[in-house]
Amino acid sequence: MAKKNVITAALILIGIVIVAFFGIRAFHAFKHFQGHGPFRGKPPAANQIDVSIIRDWMTVPYIAHLYKVPPEAIFKSLEIPKQKENAKKNLAQLNKEYYPNQDGVVLAHVQAVMQAFQKQDPPPPFPATPVFTPTPTANP
Amino acid sequence: MSSTISNFLLTQVINYGAPLFALTLFLGALGVPLPSSIMVIAVGAFSQEGYFSWLQMSIVGILAAFIGDALSFGMGYYGKGWVQRKFGNSAIWISARDSFQRQAWVAIFLTRFLITALAIPTNWIAGGSGYKFSRFILYDIFGEFTWIIVYGGLGYLFGSQWELVNDFISNFGGVLFGAVILGVGIWFARNSQNSNRNIA
């Protein structure tokens, strides 16, 4: 009987802790929705997409598709050869391979280039002038 | 660790599309701890961006999850003998099995999309308690359909902001999981009180 009471009390206590923990996190996540509602009507055009959504798990062809720019131009601005294998690697992998001593430089560069490209009106033929040029530390 | 797995799978689903998406959902339904819900929301967003066909991905997703669930049900079914030998005479097991048989459809349907952490145990219990496979399939398909349409639909609606949706849904799922544990605790407490009164 005592064992059953201990299990019951433990279940109630664990339940309360889990509800409280995830409840607070869910509340904070919900607050972030403000100003980020679903799009109404047409989805945003390529030049309206915030570059801060670019993540290091994204591949160059995917980013090129999202922002409507040729993938070759992104590879060129990164000074990374456009090979089939590189097209399948994400930004983190490209960073590790071509700029091993400069953490996050590929992500920052791609974000900066996309932003510079978006700011120009009318958009110039890609690539836009790079904001900065990373120095490759490894040869492909 | 889970973020590393998510990032790896997101890159691979971009590279390989439907086959990788199907494999993730299939393995997830078998109990492999993969971020299946994140993939469904993300694929919804990728479809909105025109990277995938939402119809093709929805069909592939529902089928993969369904096949995984059916196999998971089979694990419970073929493990029935062992459970019977181990717990067959236990009053708690008999009571739990009978309650499950009465309200199985709620458990099967809701654990597909709302309390996903309990989906695998539900499949095993359904298979192991002799629940009719045709009924399991019916509620499973409805649940998986709801999962893909609601989660994928939210990803589609929010597009590039899909990570916000994922953040909220995963935490809300945690709240519901905690509520289930709390509910079971309260149910035990009330049962214990009632049996004490009966003894008195």
- List CB contacts (< 8 A) between B14 and chain A: 58-59, 61-62
Contact criterion met (CB < 8 Å) for B167 and A62: no
Average of per-residue pLDDT across B180-184 = 90
Question: Domain coordinates of chain A in residue numbers?
Answer: 1-34, 46-119
Q: Which among B155, B173, B153 is positioned nearest to B164, based on CA atoms?
A: B155
Q: Does A131 touch chain B (CB under 8 A)?
A: no
CA distance, residue B179 to nearest chain A CA (Å): 6
List of residues 6+ apart from B42 with CB closer than 8 A = B10, B13, B155, B162, B166
Beta bridge partners of A59: A90
pLDDT digits (tens, 9 = 90+) for B137-174: 999 999 999 999 999 998 898 887 888 888 888 888 88
B185, amino acid identity: G
| Residue B180: alpha-carbon gap to chain centroid | 14
Query: pLDDT at position A93, please?
Result: 92
User: Exposed, middle or buried, A80 (CB in 10 Å: 0-12/13-18/19+)?
Assistant: buried
Distance of CA B186 to the CA centre of its chain: 23
Rounded distance, CA A52 to CA A115, Å?
Answer: 9
Q: For B111-130, what is the mean pLDDT? A: 86
Helices B54-78/B133-158 angle, 10° precision = 150
Q: Which residue, among A1, A5, A11, A65, would best test binding to B if mutated, counting the most B CBs under 10 Å from its CB?
A: A11
Tell me whether A50 touches chain B (CB under 8 Å). Answer: yes
Q: Which amino acid is at B94?
A: I
CA–CA distance, A18 with A7 (Å, rounded to integer): 16
- Residues facing A90 on adjacent strands: A59
Output the pLDDT for position A140: 45
**CB-based contact (8 Å) between B175 and chain A?**
yes
Q: Is pLDDT above 60 for B132?
A: yes
Local confidence band at B25 (pLDDT 50, 70, 90 cut-offs): very high
Is the minimum CB–CB distance between A16 and chain B shorter than 8 Å? yes
Whether residue B160 lies within 8 A of chain A, CB to CB, comes out as yes
The pLDDT, as a whole number, for residue B46 is: 92
pTM, two decimals, is 0.79
**pLDDT per residue as tens digits for the range A115-132:** 887 776 555 555 555 555
Q: Convert the pLDDT of each residue in B45-98 to its tens digit.
A: 999 888 999 999 999 999 999 999 999 999 988 887 777 776 666 766 676 677
pLDDT band at A135 (very low <50, low <70, confident <90, very high): low
pLDDT digits (tens, 9 = 90+) for A14-33: 999 999 999 999 888 887 76
Beta carbons of B21 and B39 less than 8 angstroms apart: yes
Quick check: A112 and A132 in contact, CB under 8 A? yes
CA angle A128, A132, A133 (to 5 degrees): 95
User: Would the pLDDT of B15 be above 80?
Assistant: yes
Minimal CA separation from A134 to chain B, in Å = 23
Spatial distance between the Cα atoms of A89 and B152, rounded to a whole number of angstroms = 25
- The reported pLDDT for the residue numbered B200 is 63
